[in-house]
A and B are shown apart, each in its own frame.
Chain A
Amino acid sequence: MRIADLLKFAWQVVRGYRTRTLLILLAMGIGVAAVVAVTSLGEGARLYIVNQFGSLGTNLVIVLPGRSETAGAMPGVLVGKTPRDLTLDDALALKRSHAVRHIAPLVIGAADVHVGARVRETPVLGSTAELVDIRSMEVALGRFLPEADPRQILPVCVIGAKVAAELFGAKPALGEWLRIGDRRFRVIGIMARQGESLGFNTDEIVIVPLAAAQALFNTEALFRVLVEAKSREQTLYAKADVEEFIRLRHEGERDVTVITQDAVLATFDRILRALTLAVAGIAAISLAVAGILIMNVMLIAVTQRRQEIGLLKALGATGAQIRAAFLTEAVLLSSGGAAVGLAVGQLVRYAAVQLYPAIPFQAPWWALLAAPATAVITAVLFTLAPARRAARLDPVQALSRR
C-alpha cells in the first residue's frame, strides 16, 4: 500500500465513524488546549515579572545594609539596621568606581503628610536627582528633585499622582506647600501615573531630598543604595568595587549585601520557568488519558472490523500493512485533535489578553511543539497493541464470522 492509499483508507474510516471521531478529537483537543493555555498563562506571568524587573532600571546593583551568613536566605528578609550605618558618604564614595554611572541613595519611611486639614499617611522616599535616571520614572508636571549637594536640606518634594489627587483634590498642587511630620515642603513636581510595580507604587509616594528625609526620620542610615553600572558587562566589576569600597570605608568589616539585578532576575526566571513546566506536566496527564481512550476505541474497532481486516489479509495485505493502516488512523485522529487543541488554546490566550492587557500571555515555543508532539506520540504508542492484535488476526477465522 502506498502512503497516499494508507491516508485515503484511514480517512475513510475516520469519516465513517463520525461521532467517534468527533469525541476523540474532543478528548485530544482538551488535552492539547489545556497544555497550551496553561503554559501561556505561566509564560505570561514570567514575562510580566521580567518586564517589571527590567522597568526598575538597567544594569542595577543594589546595596543593602547588613549581611547574613546563612546561605540561601532571601536578601529581602534582611530588614533592620546595623550598628554601623550605611551612610551618604559611603554612597558618594561609590561614584569613584570606573564601572559606576549613577548612584541613588534611598531613605524610606512612613510619615503623615498634611495639607490644610487633610492628613494622609504615605510612604516617604528620600533620594537624589539621579534616581530619575536610574529608575525609568516620568514626571508629569513640574520637575524632579533639583541637582544639588545631597547633604543640603531643600524644602521641596515631588508627589505621586494619587497623593496629589487625594490631598489637593481638583486644585492645582504644583507650587503649593505641604507639611510632612514637622517640616514644610513645596511641591515642585507630580509623577506620571505608573501604577504598581513589584509592590512599590509610585502613585502613592512622596519623594523628598535625601537630607530632608534623614532629618525627618532622625537617622543617618540609608535603606538602600541603587547603583547603575555603565554597561551590562560592567555590573560584576561594579559589584566587586562596591563591596571593596565599603569594606575599606568600614574598617575591613564586610557588613553590606550587594546584589545585582541580573542575579535576582535569573532566580525569578528559573523559579517561574520550573513552575510553568510543572503545571504543563500536570495538564499533560490529560493527554495520557486521551491516549487510553484512543487505545480503547481502536481495540473496539479491531473487533468490529474483523471481517474487513480478514478480507484485506485474504487479498494479500501483510501484517505490517494492517498495522500501518491502524497507526495512520491514530496519527490522523491525534493530529486533528492537536490542531483543534492548538486553536482552542490560542482562543483562551486571546481571551486572557483581552481580560488582562498588561500581562503578555503567550505560549512558549516549546509548549507549542511539545503539546502536539506528545499527543501524536501517545496516540501512536497506545495504538501499537490494538494494531498488533489486528495484524495477527487469522484471515480464515476472521472472515468466517465468529
Chain B
Amino acid sequence: MLFPDFVRFTYASLSAHRLRTVLTALGIAVGIAAVILLTSIGEGLHRFVIAEFTQFGTNIIGVAPGRIQTHGASLGAVNTVRPLTIDDAMALRHAPYVQVSDPLVQGNADVKYTGRSRRVTLYGVGPDFAHALKMRVASGEFLPQEDPRSARAFAVLGSKVARELYGGANPLGSRIRVGGERYRVIGVMQSKGQILGFDLDDTVFIPVARALEMFNRESLVEIHVVYDPTAPVAEVEAGIKRILVARHGAEDFTVTPQQKMLDVFGTVLNAITFAVAAIGGISLVVGGVGILTILTIAVAERTSEIGLLRALGATQRRILLLFLGEAALLAAVGGVAGLLLGWAIALALRLGLPALPVHTPWSYAVLAELVAVVVGLAAGVMPARRAASLDPLEALRSE
C-alpha cells in the first residue's frame, strides 16, 4: 500500500463515523486541555516567583549567623553566641569579586510623626542597601556614604509609611521618632509592593549601628554581598568563607547564594506542577481507554473488510499499521483540539484574572501533543493486533 493510500484509507475510516470520531477525539482533547492548562498555571507561577526574587538582582549572596536553618531562615538570626558584626560586613568588601557588602538588622518598631503613629518593619542597613537590592529612591536620597559604625540619625521611609504618616505633605527634612529616638527624614523609597506576603513599603530604613543599639543586640541578621555578575559563584562563596573563617576561627555562619534559593524554589514548584499535571493526566488515560474501546468495536464491525484486505494481499503488518495509524490520528486530532481548548481557557483566565500568572511554553505544547499520540498508539496496540491476527478466511465468512 502506498503512503498516500494509507493516509486516505485511514482518513476514510475516520470520516465514515464522524460523530464517533469527534467524541473519541474529544476525550483526548479534554485530557490534553487539562494538562496544558495546569502546567501553564504552574509555569506561570514559577516565572512569577522567579521574577519576584530576581528584581533584587541575581548576583547576591546572603550571609547569616549560625549554621542551623529552620523554615529557610537562620536560627542564629534570632539569637546567637557567635555574632556577625558590622566589621565582618566591612571586611567582606575585600573578598574577591565583591562589589558591595551591606549589613542588615531587622526588627519591629513604632514610628511617630506629629501625633500619628504606625508600627512598621524597621531595617537597620548600610548606605549601599538600596543599590545592592536594586531599590530606588522616589524623592530625596538614601542613607549617605559614611562609616556605618557611627552614622548620623537619618531615616528613609517606605512609600506606604510616608503616605500614612504625612498624607500628601512632603516628609523630606522633617523629624520623626523611630522607637522613641529622633531621626531626620532624608528620603522616600519607590513603591515595591508585597513580596510573598511581606510588605516592603511598610518599612523604615535607618543606619545599622543605630538599629543594633535600639534593639540592644550584637549580631546582624544578615549581610548582603553583591558580586561581579560575571564571576564564578563558587569562587565568590569560597572567598567570603575564607575571610569570615579567618575572622571567627570557625565556619559559624551560613552562606546562601540567591541562585541556590531560586533553584530550591524552582525544584519545589516543578514538583508541584508535575504532580498536578499528573492528576490532570488521569483524564488523558481515560481518553486512551476511550480510543481502545472504540477501536475494539471498530475491529469487530470491520471484520469482513479486514478479511477482504488480507485476501487481496495486505500483510498482517499492514493491517496492524492501519489500525495503529487510525489510533494515532484520532489522538493527534484530539491533542490539537485539546491544545486549542487549553490555550483558549488560559487566555480567558489571563483576561478574567490578570492576577493569576499563566504561561504556556511552546515546549509544553509540543510535549503534550507527543504524549497524546503516544497514548493513542498505546491504546491502539491491542485492537490492532487483534485485527492483524484475524484469519482472512474466517473473517470473510463472518458476514
Contact = CB atoms under 8 A, between A and B. Distances in A.
A23 B109 contact: no
Interface stretch (B235-243, B287-295, B305-313): B287-295
A107 B202 CA distance: 27
A282 B279 contact: yes
Contacts of B180: 83
Nearest to A82: B108
B349 interface: no
B24 interface: yes
Contact of B120 (A69, A107, A219): A69
Contacts of B197: 72-74, 77
Contacts of A24: 293
Nearest to B75: A110
B215 A81 contact: yes
Interface in B107-160: 107-110, 118-122
A145 interface: no
Interface stretch (B52-60, B77-85, B259-267, B390-398): B77-85
A23 B107 contact: no
A19 B279 contact: no
Contacts of A85: 216
Given A290-B286, A297-B297, A80 B75 contact: no
Contact of A20 (B70, B121, B214, B293): B293
B88 interface: no
B251 to A, nearest CB: 10
Given A108-B79, A292-B23, A296-B294, A31 B286 contact: yes
A320 interface: no
B20 A82 contact: no
B108 A19 contact: no
Interface in B275-292: 276, 279-280, 282-283, 285-287, 289-290, 292
Nearest to B213: A83
Contacts of A398: none
A361 interface: no
Interface residues of A, number: 70
Given A80-B105, A82-B215, A110 B66 contact: yes
Nearest to A283: B279
B215 A83 contact: yes
A137 interface: no
Contacts, number: 206
B38 A282 contact: yes
B357 interface: no
Contacts of B67: 110, 121
B317 interface: no
A70 B199 contact: yes
A219 B202 contact: no
B282 A79 contact: no
A81 B107 contact: yes
Contacts of B105: 80
Contacts of A111: 80-82
A24 B285 CA distance: 13
Contacts of A19: 296
B27 interface: yes
A289 B290 contact: yes
A393 interface: no
B316 to A, nearest CB: 21
Central interface residue in B73, B77, B80, by most chain A CB within 10 Å: B80
A336 interface: no
B280 A285 contact: yes
A113 to B, nearest CB: 10
Contact of B109 (A27, A83, A109): A83
A27 B286 contact: yes
Interface in A173-223: 180-182, 199-200, 213, 216-221, 223
A360 interface: no
Given A73-B198, A219-B79, A80 B290 contact: no
Nearest to A297: B293
B119 A66 contact: yes
Contact of A293 (B216, B280, B286): B286
A66 B34 contact: no
A85 B107 CA distance: 11
Contacts of A34: 279, 282
A82 B105 CA distance: 11
B34 A285 contact: yes
B289 A67 contact: no
A305 to B, nearest CB: 13
A6 interface: no
Contacts of A82: 107-109, 179, 215
A219 B80 contact: no
B79 A110 contact: yes
Interface string A48-65: 000000000000000001
A255 B119 contact: yes
10 contacts: A24-B293, A69-B118, A79-B106, A108-B78, A110-B78, A110-B81, A121-B68, A199-B70, A293-B290, A300-B297
Given A26-B289, A108-B78, A292-B290, 18 more contacts: A34-B279, A67-B119, A73-B198, A79-B77, A80-B108, A81-B217, A84-B179, A109-B75, A110-B66, A112-B252, A121-B67, A182-B81, A200-B70, A253-B110, A285-B280, A286-B283, A293-B289, A296-B24
